[in-house]
């Protein structure tokens, strides 16, 4: 069923002296894959400005319990993303996109240049994550361990934009 993936163009490219496998998944973004680590990320193919709507968010399925691919859109609602490539938007403690789960849109928070990785702040939608992980985002204010909004120290809450279903629980 994943025609978009089958027809996508894949090519190798050098990035800071490393080979990266790139796959165009839509005219405005491509997935980059590091053949060594297997790490995958979504990168802009065009310039985005704050406030730009990058993509609509749809649900290709609902899951009862959160997993490492799901996004929480309500107190008891977790979706698998449509388009699928949105799941390659990785977490950052200094994100450049926001998942607006009311209007169901990915919105640009900070300018994203061509080739730049798109990121979002996982706890902005996730109350309590299925799997916590150690963040390696390298931002000055990196929170180190990411496990969901429930576990965030109160002093960082005002720095981020959160979904309504998260704000309602604070
Ligand atoms: Zn971080």
Instruction: Kindly report, residue by residue over 110-139, the tens digit of the pLDDT.
Output: 999 999 999 999 999 999 998 899 999 999
The H or E element containing residue 73 is: strand 71-74
Question: Average model confidence (pLDDT) for the chain?
Answer: 92
Instruction: Kindly report, residue by residue over 2-12, the tens digit of the pLDDT.
Output: 444 455 588 88
Ligand 1 centre distance from Cα of residue 158 (Å): 16
Nearest to 147 by CA among 131, 159, 135, 162: 131
CA distance 109 to 51: 6
Nearest to 94 by CA among 118, 74, 78, 70: 118
Nearest to 41 by CA among 134, 136, 118, 153: 118
pLDDT in the model for residue 4? 47
In which band, very low, low, confident or very high, does the pLDDT at 1 lie, cut at 50, 70 and 90? very low
Instruction: Write down the residue that tokens 């978009």 correspond to.
Output: 4
Ligand 1 centre distance from Cα of residue 95 (Å): 9
Question: What domains does the chain contain, in order, with CATH numbers?
Answer: 3-165 (2.170.270.10)
pLDDT in the model for residue 8? 56
Contact by Cβ (8 Å): 4, 23 = no
Question: What is the mean pLDDT of the segment spanning 30-42?
Answer: 93
Instruction: Write down the residue that tokens 């704000």 correspond to.
Output: 167
Ligand 1 centre distance from Cα of residue 123 (Å): 11
Which alpha helices (H) appear in the chain, and where do they start and end? Answer: 3-7, 164-167
Ligand 1 centre distance from Cα of residue 94 (Å): 7
Ligand 1 centre distance from Cα of residue 93 (Å): 4
Contact by Cβ (8 Å): 146, 133 = yes
Instruction: Kindly report, residue by residue over 83-110, the tens digit of the pLDDT.
Output: 999 999 999 999 999 999 999 999 999 9
């Amino acid at each position: 069923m994943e025609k978009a993936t089958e027809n996508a163009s894949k090519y190798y490219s050098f990035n800071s002296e490393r080979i990266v496998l790139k796959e165009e998944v839509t005219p405005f973004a491509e997935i980059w894959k590091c053949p060594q680590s297997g790490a995958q990320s979504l990168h802009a193919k065009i310039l985005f400005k704050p406030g730009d709507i990058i993509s609509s968010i749809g649900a290709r399925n609902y899951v009862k319990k959160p997993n490492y691919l799901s996004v929480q859109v309500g107190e008891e609602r977790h979706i698998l993303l449509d388009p699928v490539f949105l799941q390659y938007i990785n977490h950052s403690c200094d994100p450049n996109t926001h998942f607006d789960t009311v209007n169901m849109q990915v919105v640009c928070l900070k300018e994203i240049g061509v080739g730049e990785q798109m990121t979002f702040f996982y706890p902005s939608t996730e109350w309590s994550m299925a799997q916590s992980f150690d963040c390696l985002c390298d931002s000055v204010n990196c929170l180190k361990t990411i496990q969901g909004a429930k576990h965030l120290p109160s002093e960082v809450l005002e720095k981020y934009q959160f979904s309504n279903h998260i704000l309602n629980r604070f």
